Amino acid sequence: MEINNSTEKKFQLVVFTVADIEYAVDILNVWEITRVIEINSTNKGEFINLRGSIVPIINLRKKFGLEVRNNNINSRIIIIDISGAIQGLIVDSVNEVFRIPYSAVHPFDPTSTIWGKKYIQGVARIDKRNILIINQEKLLQ
């Protein structure tokens, strides 16, 4: 696979890990990435106060049915905007921003046993890496 073809349409992904698996979201939906700050809880869920704005958060470990661990120095909150809905995603770490051609994205095997499989819309296969692309709208439902 050639990923340096300048004529092929490309897009950028923010690549992060949850439980040692690489996932990604489209950078066009990412407002910012921040360290984990104080998390508040109500009966409607968890949220953070980000410079005076209340932002609901989803811990992806919890959403994917994994053991929730204490956040550490590598933990991050990815603030995304999906159709005007602002949401924070707590992830184990943010790895990189990756520019890939559309041809590198393949359908996801729905019979996979991977965590969070119902939120995956495709797999970016780059070199020997499989990066699972999150369907952000499904995630927020």
Would 3 be classed as within a structural domain?
no
User: In terms of residue numbers, what domain contains 35?
Assistant: 19-140
Would 10 be classed as within a structural domain?
no
Q: Coil, helix or strand for 21? A: strand
Residue type, 13: L
Per-block mean pLDDT, blocks of 10 residues, the chain (141 long): 60 95 95 95 92 94 92 96 92 95 89 82 90 90 77
How confident is the model at residue 2, as a pLDDT? Answer: 43
Per the confidence metrics, is the pTM higher than 0.85? Answer: yes
C-alpha count within 13 angstroms, C-beta hemisphere, residue 117:
9
Would 11 be classed as within a structural domain?
no
Per the structure, the count of domains in the chain is 1
Would 35 be classed as within a structural domain?
yes
- CATH number of the domain that 112 lies in? 2.40.50.180
Quote the CA–CA distance of 109 and 5 in Å, as a whole number: 27
How confident is the model at residue 6, as a pLDDT? Answer: 57
Would 52 be classed as within a structural domain?
yes
Other beta carbons less than 10 A from residue 18's beta carbon: 22
